[in-house]
Structure 1
């Protein structure tokens, strides 16, 4: 009875010590964010309706919306990222399991013979069935630190999943919009090809009638074939874009096909209200992931510090032991034990010091990575804002150039029809017109890329994909 009271007293004392922990409390890193982006100095904080919803729908293209839905269901990189997130959540479950007692059941049978002095050597059976429990008291917060680190890592992996989803989704939208501009440019070249074919046939008729020399005919043929070659080259680019869209949508490039767009106008560029830097940093998944990784590294410092201190483990068992199997569960055959144990590291050859130094260095690395991620995020937003502004101005000037080139081409054709100039002037003005129109299409392509880049830079919108049974992580 005295031993039982002593064991109970020891256990109670250890339990009273539980809840003590070492290590500094984690504080989220402070970020010195400017009051506004220099590319959008008049912006104010506030949630953008575009970013709060399915932003890709703002382009007003039903085929694009269908591709996004297919991407959400079938993209394999996204599925791999979801699996990595599930692994992190499973590791969190493993860490949390250490907060609870470990309970096992065991059963055994043995037959043994004992040699005695009196010469009687009896043989007996021994049956044993019992439950065994083991519980480590988290006195210094070692187990809690492991759980908090795993929880932070699960949050980081969830944010990485969102980052992968945003990156892949913006790749898909960008590729689709670029494909639309390529289709528009192919359409422009095909229209030009028809005009060049008609011009060539007229020059050929005049040449056969003796009203035109061979130079004009050769020039007309040259421009015709150059235009044809450029149209063929663009079809190669279109094929590559279509194949890239197939992979992003989780389809085989061999069976995937998108018809050339039949819209009179290209999709509209949506306005992207950026907000202030602090708002953007809070929305970006890579910044959130870096902060959670810093949190995990901080918690591991406390775990490494706790390794210097004693560890208390309570082991107990209860069950039955008997010589006969039939009477094993009788009350008189009951057996139990309780064994509080303590272990304290005395000499590890510098292992604990090295482990703590590694944990602190890892935390410094995570802190530097977080700061660099913040700087990179601000840079991406500023770059995208600058590109949007410059491209808008450039496109306005290019539109004026296209209008002037069209007027020059009309005048040149009228002068040629009146016999005032040679066909060389017509060739020059039409070539200038075509180049101006193609450059305008190229600028539109760049504006689409910059528009999507800005949405990516400000963090897009989390959790808005049309997915059934998509991952939902609470409390991370």
Structure 2
């Protein structure tokens, strides 16, 4: 009974989760009442969050084939094996052994004056150097290995969150560049017709050479943009294939940006204390802190005596056929106690290192929470102005489109110069490109907010 009580002793310090060093609410977040009506990001699986079936299939391909995620999964298996090794130290290692020894003694060393050969056979079952964990040193190391293993599981979840967001962003970029390419191609076709009309007017002497060269300038600009966006689309497809880890079928690629963004909803932020501590990277930092805390227990236990046992039972005989006969039984029992007396400060230094490492992990945990808080706050800050930006960009496209129509009518009526018409064309084209960029920012912000709030690991 006394041994059982001693075996339950542990010198690991009581663990307390550090207080989150961040404000109680996210800046520019939606009111708490509205946030509580909807599930939080960690409770929304990526299959439920992304509405587009093609994007879901691409994410599934990435989860199956992405090499970074595969490495994270293998790290879990490695940590699990290391934990199994450390846990095995809690139990004695029992092994069976058998052997034979033979010795020849020369005649001048033998009482009979004749050389002789002696043999001994043995078989035994026992354990060696099993430590009685009175002060919890072995259990502290086992706890450290367990927390490290749990941390690698959170690291894999964190890697999955990043991968899901990366795939979604790459998919949105491809949709945006495809839309830019379509706009550049449409603009090129329109300007090509305009250039042909201007060429015929120039041949007829109706317009000047300057008007013709300005029309050609716009035409070649659109042609260059079309070539540039064609290359960007190809690069986006290559980047998506690299992230996914395999080729992506053409029927899973996005058609346009409107459909892509419509499949990504906007989430409520929630309360920092509820959301951030559930992020896998925060949990990973906390498991590292718990592991460092357990290591202090092992360092403390090193100050106390350690007792190890070696014991065996078996049989020994001078002949093989008498190995298991009566009277051949043998046994040995060798307890050993080690009491540290003078270590020249080594044990205290080891304890200091363990405590300092625990303090380092506390700071890393707090920094992880602060970094996560900033990610959410930055996404919310952008989200707060995106609606206004989109309205402004749409209004700008409408205004420049009307301006172009008026300039075209005035030019055809001989009221305005061709230069003003070309300027209106350039303004409309630039406004449409800026609108695409702002819509892409809107979609990327939705994905970033989902990721920053800890969604995408299930």
Q: Give the TM-score taking structure 1 as reference length.
A: 0.89
Distance 1:58 1:364, change over 3 A: closer
Question: Does 1:159 find its partner at 2:154?
Answer: yes
Distance 1:264 1:376, change over 3 A: closer
Alpha carbons 2:154, 2:284 under 8 Å: kept: yes
Distance 2:166 2:422 in 1: 39
SS at match of 1:271: coil
Question: Does 1:147 find its partner at 2:142?
Answer: yes
Aligned match of 1:437: 432
Aligned match of 1:40: 29
Aligned match of 2:45: 54
Alpha carbons 1:19, 1:141 under 8 Å: kept: yes
Alpha carbons 2:12, 2:293 under 8 Å: kept: no
Deviation at 1:40, TM superposition (A): 0.7
Q: Bigger relative contact order, structure 1 or 2, given CA contacts below 8 A and separation 6+?
A: 2
Aligned match of 1:26: 15
Deviation string, structure 1 residues 272-310 (Cα, Å, up to 9, x no partner): 122110121122111101111000001111101111111
Select which of 132, 138, 161 maps to 2:126: 132
Deviation string, structure 1 residues 333-388 (Cα, Å, up to 9, x no partner): 11112222211222333321221111111111101000111111111100001111
Alpha carbons 1:178, 1:448 under 8 Å: kept: no
Distance 1:421 1:47, change over 3 A: closer
Deviation at 1:459, TM superposition (A): 0.8
SS at match of 1:331: coil
Distance 1:54 1:79, change over 3 A: same
Question: Does 1:76 find its partner at 2:67?
Answer: yes
Aligned match of 2:214: 219
Aligned match of 2:300: 305
Aligned match of 2:79: 88
Deviation string, structure 1 residues 155-194 (Cα, Å, up to 9, x no partner): 1111111111111221111011111011111111111111
Aligned match of 2:259: 266
Aligned match of 1:292: 287
Deviation at 1:221, TM superposition (A): 0.6
Distance 2:26 2:295 in 1: 36
SS at match of 2:258: coil
Alpha carbons 1:70, 1:249 under 8 Å: kept: yes
What number of residue pairs does the alignment pair up?
Answer: 450
Alpha carbons 1:149, 1:300 under 8 Å: kept: yes
Deviation at 1:54, TM superposition (A): 3.3
Question: Does 1:455 find its partner at 2:450?
Answer: yes
Q: Which moved more, 1:114-123 or 1:298-307?
A: 114-123
Alpha carbons 2:137, 2:298 under 8 Å: kept: yes
CA RMSD of aligned residues (A): 2.2
Question: Does 1:406 find its partner at 2:389?
Answer: no
Deviation string, structure 1 residues 9-66 (Cα, Å, up to 9, x no partner): xxx8655532223242222223255332122151344762765343365443232122
Q: Which moved more, 1:425-434 or 1:413-422?
A: 413-422
Distance 1:338 1:69 in 2: 59
Question: Does 1:66 find its partner at 2:61?
Answer: no
Distance 1:59 1:119, change over 3 A: closer
Deviation at 1:240, TM superposition (A): 2.2
Question: Does 1:100 find its partner at 2:91?
Answer: yes
Distance 1:337 1:46, change over 3 A: farther
SS at match of 1:319: strand
Q: Give the TM-score taking structure 2 as reference length.
A: 0.93
